[in-house]
Amino acid sequence: YYDVLIVGAGHAGAQAGISLRQLGFEGSIAMVGDEKDPPYERPPLSKEYFAGDKSFDRILIRPASFWEERKIDMLLGHRVKSVDPVGKFVTVGGKETGGKETGDGEIGYGKLIWATGGSPRMLTCNGADAPNVHAVRRRDDVDAMMAKIDQINHVTVIGGGYIGLEAAAVLSKFGKKVVLLEALDRVLARVAGEELSRFYEAEHRAHGVDLRTGARMDCIEVSDGKATAVLMQDGERIATDMVIVGIGIIPETGPLIAAGAVGGNGVDVDEYCRTSLPDIYAVGDCAAHANSFARGAQIRLESVQNANDQAKTAVAHIMGKEEPYHAVPWFWSNQYDLKLQTVGLSTGHDQTILRGDPATRSFSVLYMKGGKLIALDCVNAVKDYVQGRAHVISGAVLDQAQLADPAVPLKEVDL
Ligand code: FAD
């Protein structure tokens, strides 16, 4: 039995543990995680860790000793299989030790924090399960790719979201021949406006990536047990030594939904990150919440910001403080020498304003709704990112000519 049991040892789970002790929580805490490692940063998996610029030790969220010192029991390599919200216990799958499976066990809880993130959505076509078809979600995924990177030349990346684009940038830096296939008519279509999509498409092509939009793949050709080509619906055969799939995640909510929690795309939570089940919170990628920056829409956010801030909200509530979640969303992406920083959520914008010239490789795209700035994408433009934030939070109507003029600092734009 633990006073607080955290399920999932990723960003949100780690922050929950850190915040509990920071706020002086004295009860017992355990974290159950199905990966073998203590919590580590996931963003470097498609950036510095993949590129070999950072070792694994440097991406740990805290040194391994931290958890012991804070008296947070780490039950790593275990997976929670079911939740009993009436008896208030979870069933934890046994650990593989030396090929021997230890039995399932039960752990009781006072409060449960569900912080399980999501699993990569995989392709369902023929060949999708070949051993050289990889997702990029866990350290193990990247280690498996790196183990054979020297033996390969041609890589096909499926999906033009942030993860696919970042992976393509690293691989092209390694000198690999990269084909990137995006089914929609532009990359980043789900998260960014057209200016940004076109800019990144051009950058990747300039770095030698064969980036194709509107690309319709059919299946993966397998020979001798390995993926050898991606076959397109128009009959083209793209020979490949490795396939990387970055087409989104499916939130890990099975046991909670089976226990009766309300949810659909993720498990539904209120402004304190409470699920519909008593004493069970959900935080991070798996939690669907009404976000004030999405104008109240029920969404899941897949970002470190959201994982950390929701964990803090849930912990505050456990500690008796009612601090509703309305943190401003922010995100970043590194590709080549381009540092993209975003703030706010652009969904539902009715106008975009380009600030600066993309040809200089330093500019921002401002997303407006009803004359208000609701989000910004800043490429190598840290000042815009820092100064635009306050406008996104305030929701004031702004002078458009000034917004479009990079000579006027965003903090000086008239209301
Ligand atoms: P996770 O960090 O995924 O942690 C969940 C943990 O729970 C995992 O270890 C999982 O294995 C475990 N688990 C799942 N089910 C169970 C179970 N039943 N029992 C026990 N354990 C379980 N965000 C940014 O803001 N900026 C970026 O640049 C960025 N880049 C990214 C690049 C990559 C390659 C990836 C994969 C993600 C990136 N993200 C980025 C997103 C960010 O990493 C996630 O939003 C964040 O990790 C979410 O935290 P979480 O705790 O909800 O989930």
Find the 119 Cα to ligand 1 centroid distance in Å.
9
Mutation choice for ligand 1 from 82, 285, 308, CB with most ligand atoms inside 8 A: 285
The minimum-distance atom of ligand 1 relative to the CA of 302 is 45
Structure confidence by residue, pLDDT tens digits, 303-325: 999 999 999 999 999 999 999 99
Residue nearest to ligand 1 atom 30, measured at CA: 43
Question: Mean pLDDT over residues 260-284, rounded?
Answer: 98
SS3 for the chain is CEEEEEECCCHHHHHHHHHHHHCCCCCCEEEEECCCCCCECCHHHHCHHHHCCCCHHHHECCCHHHHHHCCEEEEECCCEEEEECCCCEEEECCCEECCEECCCEEEEEEEEEECCCEEECCCCCCCCCCCCEEECCCHHHHHHHHHCHHHCCEEEEECCCHHHHHHHHHHHHCCCEEEEECCCCCCCCCCCCHHHHHHHHHHHHHCCCEEECCCCEEEEEEECCEEEEEEECCCCEEECCEEEECCCEEECCHHHHHCCCCEECEEECCCCCECCCCCEEECHHHEEEECHHHCCCEECCCCHHHHHHHHHHHHHHHCCCCCCCCCCCEEEEEECCEEEEEEECCCCCCEEEEECCHHHCCEEEEEEECCEEEEEEEECCHHHHHHHHHHHHHCCECCHHHHCCCCCCHHHCCC
Q: Does the complex come out with an ipTM higher than 0.85?
A: yes
The residue that leads in pLDDT, 116 or 415, is 116
Residue nearest to ligand 1 atom 50, measured at CA: 117
The minimum-distance atom of ligand 1 relative to the CA of 78 is 20
Q: For the chain, give the percent of residues with pLDDT over 90.
A: 96
Structure confidence by residue, pLDDT tens digits, 7-57: 999 999 999 999 999 999 999 999 999 999 999 999 999 999 999 999 999
State residue 101's pLDDT score.
65
State residue 126's pLDDT score.
97
pTM equals: 0.97
CB 136 less than 6 A from any atom of ligand 1? yes
Structure confidence by residue, pLDDT tens digits, 371-386: 999 999 999 999 999 9
State residue 99's pLDDT score.
52
State residue 247's pLDDT score.
97
Question: Mean pLDDT over residues 342-362, rounded?
Answer: 96
pLDDT band at 250 (very low <50, low <70, confident <90, very high): very high
Find the 305 Cα to ligand 1 centroid distance in Å.
12
Structure confidence by residue, pLDDT tens digits, 85-128: 999 999 999 775 555 566 789 999 999 999 999 999 999 999 99
Find the 118 Cα to ligand 1 centroid distance in Å.
7
Structure confidence by residue, pLDDT tens digits, 166-187: 999 999 999 999 999 999 999 9
Mutation choice for ligand 1 from 11, 165, 301, 308, CB with most ligand atoms inside 8 A: 11
